[in-house]
Structure formats: C-alpha cells, structure tokens
Amino acid sequence: MSTTLIIGASRGLGLELARQALAAGERVIATVRSDDARSQLQDLGAQVLKLDVADPASVSGLSWQLDGEKIDLALYVAGVMDRGNALSPPTREHFDAVMHPNVLGAMQVLPQIMPMVEEAGGVFAAISSSMSQIGSVPNSSAWLYRVSKAALNMAVAAAQHDYPRATLVTIDPGWVRTDMGGESAPLTVEQSVQGLRRTLAGLTPADRGRLLHHDGRRASHW
C-alpha cells in the first residue's frame, strides 16, 4: 500500500486529495492546524497529525512525528491567498502572513520529509498557481500571492538538485471553487483533484523541478 502525506488537509483541495487517495486504497497521513479539523479526516480513514506551517516550532517536530515512514507522494497544500494589488505596499506583517505559509513553510518542511520520499523513490508536489508565471501577467491583482507562488516554484526547482532519488514539482490546480477561488471558478474541487492526481501519476524524469498544470500541460515559461 502506498503512503500519501498531505500537508494542509483540513479543507478544500487538501481534504479532497485525502478523500480521493483513501478511495484509491492509499494510506493517508494528513496534517491539520487545529483539533477541529481532525475528526472529519479520521472518519475518512486518514492518520492525522497536528502541524502549523506558519510556526517554525511546530514544523521542527514533523520529522519526529513521521519517523520510520516511507512516503510515496508528499503534497504541500498549505497556503493563503491575498488579493491586494500594487497600488499600495504590503506591511511587513502582511508580507509575513503570506510568505511564511506559502514559501518558508514549504522550505522548512522539505528537508524534514525528503529523506522519506527519497527512500520510496517518490514524489514531492507543492500546490502553486498559474498566477506565478512571470511571462503571462495581465495585471497586479494578488501581487503578493503571485510573488509567493513564484518563489515557491524556485524553491522546489532548486531543491530538486539535492534529492535526485525523488521527483519534485510544483503544480497548478486551476481556478477552483474553494474558499480561496470563489464561487465563480469553473472547476469543482473534485475535478481539480482528479486532474492533479492523474497528472502526478504520469510524471516523467523530464518533469523534475517544473511547474505543471492540473490538466497535464507543462508550463512553457515561468
């Protein structure tokens, strides 16, 4: 039985990733920030760990909680949206509130779990966005979010070189009807996750370090 680790599984994409992985017969280890989200995942059959990616002290204990595991697929889903534009500067607190979970959290999680992913010859995938692509920016909306996801792409592309026995990618789930995506988004959570899982199952060595889209397209430029 393969083991899937989902960092940030309390709602939205993370919860649906857990649901579909369990339905496919995978063993799922899922992290949540609060005890309130624990019972729903446990009822689905997941093993649940408490983790706050914005708290370095919490992240520092992750490898201890996972001691002895082999992880076939690790998904970094945790993140926050910000919709501000370039007409006003973010405060330092505002900047940290976005960049910490979206970028620093992933960079702190990676070294802790990648030996376990390498042990399984597995995959690490971080949820990014098409809004991270510098070559196709239509406006400054969500500019801090865009910056955070572009930084996440670079962090994963760079880390790939240190973990040659695993495949590291970032992946765009599309515009999805979640709390973050809003009700006008064209994709349901179920459709997005089906695409994410299908695309990740079809990874090749040429995909290492790349940004992919949920529908299988490979980003031609970042």
Distance CA 183, CA 66 (A): 36
- The token duo for 208 is 């290492």
Confidence at 163, pLDDT banded by 50, 70, 90 = very high
pTM: 0.93
- Contact call for residues 214 and 174 (beta carbons, < 8 A): yes
- Closest C-alpha to 197, from 27, 26, 21: 21
- Look at residue 83 in the predicted model and tell me its pLDDT: 78
Distance CA 47, CA 45 (A): 7
pLDDT per residue over 168-188, tens digit each?
A: 999 999 877 666 656 676 788
- Closest C-alpha to 15, from 41, 34, 36, 35: 41
Which of 35-39, 83-87, 151-155, 163-167 is the least confident region? 83-87
Confidence at 222, pLDDT banded by 50, 70, 90 = low
- Contact call for residues 33 and 50 (beta carbons, < 8 A): yes
- Look at residue 27 in the predicted model and tell me its pLDDT: 98
pLDDT per residue over 133-149, tens digit each?
A: 777 766 666 788 889 99
SS3 103: helix
pLDDT per residue over 13-66, tens digit each?
A: 999 999 999 999 999 999 999 888 899 999 999 999 999 999 999 999 999 999
Centre a 10 Å sphere on the Cβ of residue 137 and count the other Cβ atoms it contains: 13
Q: Which residue type occupies 20?
A: Q
- The token duo for 197 is 């899982």
Residue 221: pLDDT above 60? no
pLDDT per residue over 78-114, tens digit each?
A: 998 877 777 888 999 999 999 999 999 999 999 999 9
Distance CA 68, CA 86 (A): 46
* All domains in the chain, ordered by first residue: 3-213 (3.40.50.720)
